[in-house]
Structure 1
């Protein structure tokens, strides 16, 4: 097939001399150059199409950026993403920039895994490993035992499922055709064994009465089904025009994950799940969304200890198909998938990773790769590692909340800063006030949330605390200045419940302190506030006495605020007006009910710079 690519390029060049190529023909020619590893020409041709029509099909957008990476490195890809933010999905840009940052900032992204090629690999394709009791299931193009006994070691026309025993070092021995599923003459592969259901999920060719069946375009797709412990098979997902791959059943949720090439996805094959009842389909497929699925192909979902592992050929990987890890958050949300780094990934295709606990607090896993040095096209590899693989990141998700109303705040800025105060990343909360933000791992991080006319949340965390807060929703409370201030007597004043001093006294009682603590909190949230403290009395008593007591009360309020953390620079004045500014006609000598006199006795905390704050 590869020999046809130069021929295709020559034909397209001939066509160009006669008439302009269509965008599709340009894309096809660019892809042919890419297959020939002529990355300069692939980049040039893709760029010509993009300059004419920036809305490239997802498949070719991915191929174009792969070509850019091969010619100009990840720096050229970053430049393209930053120059075309509105033409690409924000999730794709976010995924790419984080993975580029990780590859750039982490230096050598090599894992600590001890990797070994399995003894049972054949000269043909061996891939899609799956744990099966104390054995390993996998898919292979090798012939069955009967085929091999009959003659030369030749590949089979169809894929089949095999099993092998695992020795005490995790290597595979004693490979045989897997006999716990019905014998089948056509493709069957990518198995997953559910210990809870004692059933094997796998894919097989669509057939009826022993014959392959095709859709109206002559396509024979792959269906998904399961075989129980007695070997009884049933179809679960079947469509003559849709192929299904790589089932994974999660016992805790009853979700059946898989890859499929449904129309309307984000790229080639996307990852989906359906809800099941003991393995029986109970819902329509749910796409895992744009943080997992990309313009490329995503396959081979596998969940281990709250992390989703899968493979993708998206442009920001190390090679063709790479393995990634994403943390499963709440409400079917996922963190940004992170490349597992070198060794587990290579410049070639690496996919189908599975992992489980092993001896001495270590982990053991398997994957397929066509990297150099193997025995065939795709080989099975094992690895032993101390910790879960993947370049470490810090992920924070939650909401920004109005502390006054308990409502969530949309369009708030959430920032992560490093220990030098440099902004690592900034995001905006969505319509529900929710956010999710992820950066390469740091020794310490400051988390901030802010919005215009609101206070700022700011808190720093050291490395041990970072491990804790990223595992659960993190909510940050801020306050709107408009919720703290009201207009009274043609002035902007802090909202306080009305309070009274004891008659003739200026002592701060617990009830008064409770209200003044609101002022302390307001200044802590808005350090730029400039205040004037006003104290007023009613007309009862002598005018000089009332002036003196009101000044004493204003000074007592000032002293309390300063003693509880308010800077003297925030309090510009403390003034006692006595009875000079009565609000009604309860003047000297007038008869008024006590409630009317009390309207005149009041303490106001005036915000002098309210109109200038924002």
Structure 2
């Protein structure tokens, strides 16, 4: 049986409950087998129909899915591709299956080609997640990988065992081992799931496995427990029932609800929908949020992770999707929070195969890039449902897997490790802000991170709101670079203390638009300054002049390739020769101040005094003018000589 089929039977198909074949008339035997999760029988029936040319478009898609579930990835990819070329039946979830089928065939060119065709339909967060994990897995992270002591639990059975959960010094888990021989769940060919308890030994192994009897009694599914120490309650999923029997929706489906059972106290049904199943509840004692998995209409693919706000476990809001940073076109299940990190499982196409376990750092306004934990936690098979806690000098954890060498369909594995699983990362996020205008944000700015050897580590483009986000494996030093045509380039080196201080905070990147800093005056482009004046006959720079010249310093820092000419003029009063000398001295004084303030001397090609040669009005020699009119001729301009070629 395929690892994909196993996980669907144990977590989606099995937990979805029984689909009554008589509740809804199917158009063919293939449909009956398909909706009862008998995928190989569905393949045989659909292929027989196909040979007669009577498959509908939806049945042809069902056949592709059946190939996928039976691990016939070559036929699955061919069938999906044929559907993709003809119709729009395929959605993001099917794209994920298509990409996984191609990767299982080691068809790298086909995977990349198909991905290029459909990537525009994926959120940018998914593509960022993919690139990050692709680099991580391809380049190898062995030097950063932890030493795990992984062991198969002695309490596993030949049936399905999964969903471990801490319960003080005990371990709870779900199992398909048969309790009542009269009640069997046909798709899994085993008993309905029930919750068991066992004692955790110092070695991490378990003892005294027995049925957990603190829950409301039921003959049907009860699984994926989570114990909240704050509420002293168990959250778990169970089959929808009515009058002691299974309850079905109009399509003949029995779904799973989420319940809360106080230890020794009351029982509450929290989330129920006859047509929608809820999986893997996790209650966060710190925030009061109840996390779970479900396949709602707003999902990004298959099963997504959601949360609801609660008041001591009582649901107080509608479900909220964790968004495209966490949820993918695949299936996401089994959320678990440990030390400000979210652990969960996903079968997104860029993983190692089947379900993989990921870790995402929790941020103030969302989540970091989910990082594949890599081997040996993840394998080409299904690995899911991780829990972890501090134990002695290290950590103790458990997860489920159908990897080779187990005792049953899915087994629970324990592990011990010295440090928290998951690669340490650095996150830069915030907005690119135009500091030369009204502090509006700037879209389409290229933002990149570089190591100290000049290698690019990551790159992104700020979105329409000017927001950007980059996450990379931890570095002690790096350089941030941001650039856009006609904007100033921002480059800054960060050292370890600065990088550590930035985590879980935002960093806005200041840039300036060239056109905000210059203007047209007297037929040439000049740095935009307020008018300033020297005292009569003086070459000394007062505070007002220095304040304006600071803008020139900032302009040169923003656009270091600019070439400048300083021009100073005066009015017609006084002798012509004296005025030339006075304005030249003033231009030289301005240049001296700018150079002392950090402007390279090579940037200022000329500093010229024009005296009274360029009078802007009628206030020439011998003409009476008001002081305000004379002042119009007293001016200094900082001309940008290479304005026309600066951005070529």
Q: Would the TM-score normalized by the shorter structure come out above 0.5?
A: yes
Paired residue for 1:552? 585
Aligned-partner Cα distance in 2 for 1:77–1:588: 81
Q: CA RMSD in A?
A: 2.7
Q: Report deviation, 1:353.
A: 0.5
In structure 2, do the counterparts of structure 1 residues 120 and 434 end up closer, same or farther at CA, with 3 Å as the change threshold? same
Confirm or deny that 1:371 pairs with 2:427. no
In structure 2, do the counterparts of structure 1 residues 280 and 381 end up closer, same or farther at CA, with 3 Å as the change threshold? same
Match of 1:275 among 303, 306, 309: 309
In structure 2, do the counterparts of structure 1 residues 169 and 10 end up closer, same or farther at CA, with 3 Å as the change threshold? closer
Confirm or deny that 1:504 pairs with 2:537. yes
Paired residue for 2:349? 315
Paired residue for 2:377? 344
SS at match of 2:138: helix
**Cα deviation 1:323-343 (Å, max 9, x = unaligned):** 111122233x22221211011
Q: Is the 8 A contact 1:78 1:100 kept in 2?
A: no
Aligned-partner Cα distance in 1 for 2:47–2:178: 42
Confirm or deny that 1:202 pairs with 2:225. no
Q: Is the 8 A contact 1:111 1:341 kept in 2?
A: no
Aligned-partner Cα distance in 2 for 1:13–1:222: 32
Q: Report deviation, 1:480.
A: 0.7
Q: Report deviation, 1:352.
A: 0.6
In structure 2, do the counterparts of structure 1 residues 279 and 17 end up closer, same or farther at CA, with 3 Å as the change threshold? closer
Q: Is the 8 A contact 1:111 1:344 kept in 2?
A: no
Paired residue for 2:86? 52
Q: Report deviation, 1:491.
A: 2.6
In structure 2, do the counterparts of structure 1 residues 275 and 507 end up closer, same or farther at CA, with 3 Å as the change threshold? same
Confirm or deny that 1:477 pairs with 2:499. no
Paired residue for 1:151? none
**Cα deviation 1:28-72 (Å, max 9, x = unaligned):** 333444444343333323222223336623333222111111112
Q: Is the 8 A contact 1:401 1:478 kept in 2?
A: yes
Aligned-partner Cα distance in 2 for 1:238–1:421: 55
In structure 2, do the counterparts of structure 1 residues 77 and 425 end up closer, same or farther at CA, with 3 Å as the change threshold? farther
Aligned-partner Cα distance in 1 for 2:323–2:164: 25
SS at match of 1:252: coil
For residues 254-403 of structure 1, the aligned pairs below 5 Å read: 254-331=288-365, 333-360=366-393, 362-403=394-435
Q: Between 440-449 and 347-356, report the one with greater CA deviation.
A: 440-449
In structure 2, do the counterparts of structure 1 residues 16 and 163 end up closer, same or farther at CA, with 3 Å as the change threshold? closer
Aligned-partner Cα distance in 2 for 1:426–1:114: 36
Q: Report deviation, 1:8.
A: 4.4
Aligned-partner Cα distance in 2 for 1:43–1:157: 34
Gaps of 5+ in 2: 3-32, 183-187
Match of 2:199 among 153, 160, 165: 165
Paired residue for 1:571? 604
SS at match of 2:380: coil
Confirm or deny that 1:583 pairs with 2:616. yes
Q: Report deviation, 1:440.
A: 4.6
Match of 1:436 among 465, 469, 477: 469
SS at match of 1:81: helix
Aligned-partner Cα distance in 2 for 1:432–1:226: 42
Aligned-partner Cα distance in 2 for 1:176–1:8: 37
Q: Between 495-504 and 294-303, report the one with greater CA deviation.
A: 495-504
Q: Between 485-494 and 128-137, report the one with greater CA deviation.
A: 485-494
Gaps of 5+ in 1: 149-153
Q: Is the 8 A contact 1:142 1:155 kept in 2?
A: no
Aligned-partner Cα distance in 1 for 2:496–2:586: 48
Q: Is the 8 A contact 1:101 1:440 kept in 2?
A: no
In structure 2, do the counterparts of structure 1 residues 609 and 587 end up closer, same or farther at CA, with 3 Å as the change threshold? same
Q: Between 486-495 and 584-593, report the one with greater CA deviation.
A: 584-593
Match of 2:148 among 113, 116, 133: 113
Q: Between 26-35 and 113-122, report the one with greater CA deviation.
A: 26-35
In structure 2, do the counterparts of structure 1 residues 13 and 228 end up closer, same or farther at CA, with 3 Å as the change threshold? closer
Q: Report deviation, 1:363.
A: 2.0
Q: Is the 8 A contact 1:74 1:316 kept in 2?
A: no
**Cα deviation 1:412-450 (Å, max 9, x = unaligned):** 221223444344433222222111123455564322112
Paired residue for 2:162? 127
SS at match of 2:487: coil
Aligned-partner Cα distance in 2 for 1:566–1:352: 60
For residues 67-78 of structure 1, the aligned pairs below 5 Å read: 67-72=101-106, 76-78=110-112
Confirm or deny that 1:214 pairs with 2:244. no
Q: Is the 8 A contact 1:200 1:226 kept in 2?
A: yes
Q: Is the 8 A contact 2:181 2:191 kept in 1?
A: no
Paired residue for 1:561? 594
Q: Between 123-132 and 170-179, report the one with greater CA deviation.
A: 170-179
Count how many residue pairs are aligned between Structure 1 and Structure 2.
606
**Cα deviation 1:297-354 (Å, max 9, x = unaligned):** 11101111221111111222112111111122233x2222121101111121111111
Q: Report deviation, 1:534.
A: 0.8
Q: Report deviation, 1:464.
A: 6.0
Q: Report deviation, 1:14.
A: 4.1
In structure 2, do the counterparts of structure 1 residues 32 and 206 end up closer, same or farther at CA, with 3 Å as the change threshold? closer
Q: TM-score, normalised by structure 2?
A: 0.87
